Amino acid sequence: MSDLVRLEAHGDVGLIVIDHPPVNALSAAVRAGLVACIDKLGADPALRCGVLACDGRTFVAGADIREFNNPVPPAGSTQAVTTNAVCAAIDASQKPIVAALFGTTLGGGLEVALSCHGRVIEAQGKVGLPEVKIGLLPGAGGTQRLPRLVGPLAALDMITTGRHVPASEALSLGIVGEIATDLRPAAMSAARALADAGTWPRLRDEPTPAVDRAAFDAAVTAVGKRARGAIAPVRAAEAVSWSLDAPFDDALARESEAFQALRAGPQSRALRHIFAADRAAAKAPTDEPPLPIATAGVIGGGTMGSGIAISLADSGLSVTLVEVGDDAVRAAEARVRAVYDRQLASGRLTEAGHAARLARVTFSTEMAALAQADLVIEAIIENIDAKQDVFRRLSAITRADAILASNTSYLDIDLLADVVVHPERVLGLHFFSPAHVMKLLEIVRPARLAPAVLATALALAKRIGKQPVVSGICDGFIGNRIFSTWRKQCDFALEDGALPHEIDRALESWGMAMGPYAVADLAGLDIGWAQRKRLAPTRNLAARYVPIADWIAEQGRFGQKTGAGYYLHRDGKREIDPAITALVERASAERGITRQPVPAERIQSRVLAAMANEGARILEEGVAARPSDIDVVLVHGYGFPAWRGGPMQAADEAGLDTVLATVKEMHAQSGPGWEPSKLLETLVAEKRSFASLNG
């Protein structure tokens, strides 16, 4: 038996315990240990039944994902013991086994639990089959056992979304038979009851409950539409459908084949890459412990500031939001209350939760109200003079050890630190709008930042449910710098012959959540216009510049907020506007360009090349620590398809030699600013990938 799995006798119950910190992952050694313990349970005449349990803070939270990158192990080796083999051993057991679930029971952990003859869960426990989130489907019977237990429609929802199901819902669905306060004794009682009865259910032998086939087929079709190019949810839906028609063993074999095909494919590689990249980005590059944060302040109660306040309050922090006057305070309070009222109306908050969260946010017109705050986040207009004024005042008011942060999207944080006593406590916390919803948080690291402050920012990101990425200082940091670069290629395509809706359609069909012009209208064209005017004195006049966005903004067309931008916006829908077509054609004529259709493939390849080339420059400058950090930013903040793994991973998949050739074409056509990065050229010359730099 493995040292990671042990069998304990508790009277007539055999307790099989997994002890594999931190999350009891189903590694090869754990799988082999489980099979050995199940065999030992069966061979011991003093034991009538078994309970499968875990030490630590959770039941099995899934597979050891690192093993998915390994070659298939030789038959007969310890590594060759699969999760299917564990489930088959439980199926073959002549004694009932009950699973004692707590923490997060996910993926292979839930598949093993489903093969058990009963399941008991603690009240705070959650279960799920999240394999689609790493480009896979459940590969150890999950697509077959779960439909037999909860019905095909409920199983289809769980498996194709990968969502975590709380204990109360797991009980109502029938995934578990009991919610227990004293978990192991309850599981032992359930196991003894099965042994006393002399019979116990095996899901593999149960029929799948009847379902309205038309409703099921419609739900499968809906999965395909939502997938937006992701393969795993579609394959998972197909696998669930097999539970309606195919014998269990035949469906299990087909499920295993589908799992292995996905595992070897580029989408799962990309999603596993992002899974690892998220964790690498969140790891503090210092051993300094984080500082305690209990109270926070937010300056500015607009859309961003109120969203930041909500994020902080949701995590249990006491928040003081400061605005310039009574009217602005009332508007900020209304924004915060509106969010919590919607959550109450939708059932996401109880009455008690609604009241508690509102009580955590107080409002003031006096900056002095922030005197004792542990953390203050400035979220005012994107103007360096205005922000410096705020930081000077904060420096005089706050405690010397209070962390001072700016939510700037572009500006130099060092210039804010310059006006503060103890500048080592100043950093950037770049939230994305809406701040209480969007997952990404760019942590901008100025030159004098104290390691403990950086550690605190990373800990805060985890507390408020954000995915952090540490960035150095440059205009736009990681995300906006890359976004502004690839947007230029889209603007060039406009002048060359495309229209905004054609470019949006090309990139959305490639998997991006929204095209750039739809995004611009959503965010507001006035924001980018102000940024371009700020940078105008530094612009290289020899570089190609497309004036279309400026012309649109000059007309007061700022997007959805004004009802017109690149599109007309009516009744929540965007419409193609002939006036914009005329502006685009005017730009082509003024540059002397004969307009020709621009293929979607050219738009897609140039956007990727622009991202990868600018990402390489960011790495050269030390703004990003590793290529995978860039991928995390673009996936979580800019709608890049996760199943492509981010631009640096996607460039590796496309081949860096191909990407470099595209960059050279762009440089030849568009001139200054499009030179190939030295790093990209070096990697191609050395036949290496961006992944080789991740460490």
Q: Starting at the edge strand that comes first in sequence, how are the strands of the sheet with 97-101 ordered?
A: 5-10, 13-18, 49-54, 97-101, 118-122, 178-180
CB under 8 A, 24+ apart: contacts of 244-249:
244/147, 244/152, 244/208, 244/211, 244/213, 244/216, 248/144, 248/204, 248/205
Tokens of 565: 């931008």
Go through 67-83 and write b for each residue having 16 or more CB atoms within 10 A of its CB, e for each that does not.
eeeeeeeeeeeebebbb
In which residue are the tokens 């083999």 written? 85
Question: Are 407 and 429 spatial neighbours (Cβ–Cβ below 8 Å)?
Answer: yes
- Dihedrals phi, psi of 477, to nearest 5 degrees: 55, -140
543 touches 673 (CB < 8 A): yes
Q: Examine the residue annotation and report whether 665 is marked as an active-site residue of this protein.
A: no
Separation between Cα atoms, residue 27 and residue 483, nearest integer Å:
40
Instruction: Mark whether 131 is an active-site residue.
Output: yes
CB 85, CB 112: distance < 8 Å: no
Q: Considering the candidates 61, 111, 139, 281, report the single residue annotated as catalytic.
A: 111
3-state secondary structure 339-374: HHHHHHHCCCCCHHHHHHHHHHEEEECCHHHHCCCC
Residues 6 or more apart whose CB falls under 8 angstroms from that of 179 comprise 120, 121, 122, 123, 167, 168, 171
Does 621 participate in catalysis according to the annotation? no
- The residue from 62, 103, 108, 528 that is catalytic is 108
63 is catalytic: yes
| Candidates 28, 50, 131, 333; catalytic one | 131
Among 25, 32, 61, 63, the one annotated catalytic: 63
Task: Determine the straight-line distance between the first and last CA of the chain, rounded to whole angstroms.
Answer: 34
What does DSSP say about strands 426-431 and 403-406: parallel, antiparallel, or unpaired? parallel
Residues noted as catalytic: 63, 108, 111, 131
